[in-house]
Structure 1
Amino acid sequence: MKQNRFKWIFIQLVTVIGLVYSQVCQPLTSELSTAYIFRHQPSLFTNEVESFKTIIPASNVTDKCCAYLNDFADNASNFIRCSVERARPLRFCEKCVDSFATVTSIYNDIEKNVGGCHVFLLDADRVQAILQIHTMIKALWDASDCNNCFTSGSIDVEQNGTVTYKYNTDTMDFMGKYDNFTECVDRYTNGTYPDFTSINYTVCHACLQMYQGLNDHYADMRKRYNGKICMDLVDMMNYTRLMWGDARDLNCTNHDRDDMPVLLTSIILLTIPFLFYGATCICGERKKLKIMTQKRLKNPISVEVSKTDNSHSNHVNSIS
């Protein structure tokens, strides 16, 4: 009886558990198991997923704005790479003008809302990465005074993407003088000058006039541009002066000193005091001192003082 009773209880428990399990583990509907069915039966929901993507796109940037963004990124990268590669020797303005003009033109188009991309590329977030990068590029260009290398307004980007520019007259003259000077130095230092062995010339004597002409032209440019000379020319002149005067290079400024001007100046300064006092003694007038006498006493009074040893007293006799 007890065994039958336990069997009956066990059967009842199994039945109840089965009923509960059947209610909990029902097959999920498509509304609640989209990811599961998409993994196992993707063909059933492919069309619905594609339509869902068209309703809410992954990005609201149009294809035209993406093209602007890619062009800006490529040219900004080219400009930064060019500026680093041309840092020493500094030829930043001359060699990087193409990438600078292109990236500036692209940014100006974005800022002018060409293609309706101003909002999506410049005003979409607080960081404003495109604006920050363009500000950095422009600050580097302005700090180098690169515009003073070119004629005002000559840097332009044509419709086919070609960059055109024109150097100003001062830059052209400086480059011409610099090329002549470096050519002269190369001839003598390399020993390729035709008459180098027969004439008593060194590079310091042969190229002195060209160096002075280059240096004078640079000084005139500093006055004309108030010291804001294109950094390419500044770097070229600095290295030229170092090469000309440095003892490890040409050492052309270490000449024998002439001590004669120093000696003459010292002698003149030493003789000026003696000449001054001598001329004062000879040409000056001597003033005689006048002694003033007392007029209140007509007759002078003399006083005689006598002293005796015994009485230790003084006797004063008045003599008129």
Structure 2
Amino acid sequence: MLKYMFIVLCPLSFLKADYQIYSKLQSNLILQYNGSNHFTHNPEKCYEILQDFSEQASNFTWCSILNSKPITLCERCVEKYVTFRDKYEELLNTTINGTSCRSIFISQDRLNAVQEYHDNILSIWNKGNCNGCFDWIQGKPSLKNDTIRFYKMTNDTMDCIVKNMDPDNTEVCNRCIQSYMQLDNFYKTLSSDSIGVDSVCMDIVDSMNATRYIWSKNLNCCKLRKKPEVVFLCCAGIIAILPLIYYLTVRFCGPIRDLPNVLKQSRFKQTILRSINGRND
């Protein structure tokens, strides 16, 4: 009798244990289900960091678009870039209960959205050489002395142009050429080449391009350089003609015209004549 009771009760105990395991698994799945046909079992803190990261990416994108023309992206969006950069680093380096946030969101699928958006924003920042506008001390930006000096010289040049504007633009060119040339020469020192597109902060490049356009196209002040260019071209033309004048003078006015024909014959010609005479003999 006891034997049969043991046989009956044992399956019941196993069924009870299986039911407890199933109930625990069911509870975990319910907690993990997010209501959108997906299950999540990752730390909530990682998703909070991800949300902050997405907000900072949105803020920088918004700022960069609004400051795309004229280009003031580097200076006006640097704070948003720093916050975006720091939040990305936090996402990479945070670990909750042994689970790395990086392992959840970075390089886990073909889309890899987090990494792609980060790389796109970083590409915009690097294409503009925006780091070149600042001195970075412990990751914090401050405008370089060269950047501050350039903006001051630009403001001085534009103030001079505005104060001396006239219908003929002749006075503004004469009065402001010194300020403009100082600005242009200083800009050239910021890079190994006069263009500086690949090494100078894009805010500075765009500002210099705008100033040059105003000076040369709107004010037509480059005409002040035409007189020196004309003098240079005339001198170059005279120097180029001198050899021709020399050879013509020697050819028609030199003493060789008064020499006998025998002396005028070259040694090369005499050699040819001798060889011909030798063959005839």
1:83 paired with 2:55, answer no
**What is the aligned-residue identity percentage?**
26
1:216 paired with 2:185, answer yes
1:237 paired with 2:220, answer no
Which letter does structure 2 place at the counterpart of 1:77? S
CA distance in 2, matches of 1:71, 1:82: 17
Q: Deviations over 1:1-52 (max 9, x none)?
A: xxxxxxxxxxxxxxxxxxxxxxxxxxxxxxxxxxxxxxxxxxxxxxx9x947
CA distance in 1, matches of 2:202, 2:28: 57
CA distance in 2, matches of 1:114, 1:203: 63
Query: Alpha carbons of 1:221 and 1:99: their partners in 2 closer, same or farther (altered >3 Å)?
Result: same
Deviation at 1:71, TM superposition (A): 0.6
Aligned to 1:103: 84
Deviation at 1:131, TM superposition (A): 0.5
The answer as to whether partners of 2:129 and 2:198 remain within 8 angstroms in 1 is: no
Q: Deviations over 1:122-150 (max 9, x none)?
A: 24433111000001111111111111111
CA distance in 1, matches of 2:150, 2:129: 16
Aligned to 2:141: 165
Pairwise CA RMSD: 3.3
Which letter does structure 2 place at the counterpart of 1:165? P
Which letter does structure 1 place at the counterpart of 2:52? D
Q: Deviations over 1:70-95 (max 9, x none)?
A: 11110000111111100111001111
Count, aligned residues: 228
The answer as to whether partners of 2:71 and 2:202 remain within 8 angstroms in 1 is: yes
Aligned to 1:118: 102
CA distance in 2, matches of 1:256, 1:169: 32
Which letter does structure 1 place at the counterpart of 2:134? F
1:204 paired with 2:161, answer no
Aligned to 2:10: none
Query: Alpha carbons of 1:288 and 1:99: their partners in 2 closer, same or farther (altered >3 Å)?
Result: closer
Show structure 1 runs of 5+ residues with no match.
1-47, 157-163, 192-199, 295-320
Aligned to 1:69: 50
Return the index of the structure with the highest Cα Rg.
Answer: 1
The answer as to whether partners of 2:74 and 2:202 remain within 8 angstroms in 1 is: yes
Query: Alpha carbons of 1:271 and 1:112: their partners in 2 closer, same or farther (altered >3 Å)?
Result: same
Equivalent of residue 142 in structure 1, options 109, 112, 126:
126
Show structure 2 runs of 5+ residues with no match.
1-23, 35-39
Aligned to 1:181: 157
Query: Alpha carbons of 1:265 and 1:283: their partners in 2 closer, same or farther (altered >3 Å)?
Result: farther
Deviation at 1:261, TM superposition (A): 4.2
The answer as to whether partners of 1:101 and 1:155 remain within 8 angstroms in 2 is: no
The answer as to whether partners of 1:75 and 1:102 remain within 8 angstroms in 2 is: yes
Which letter does structure 2 place at the counterpart of 1:145? N
Query: Alpha carbons of 1:283 and 1:141: their partners in 2 closer, same or farther (altered >3 Å)?
Result: farther
Query: Alpha carbons of 1:144 and 1:275: their partners in 2 closer, same or farther (altered >3 Å)?
Result: same
Aligned to 1:318: none
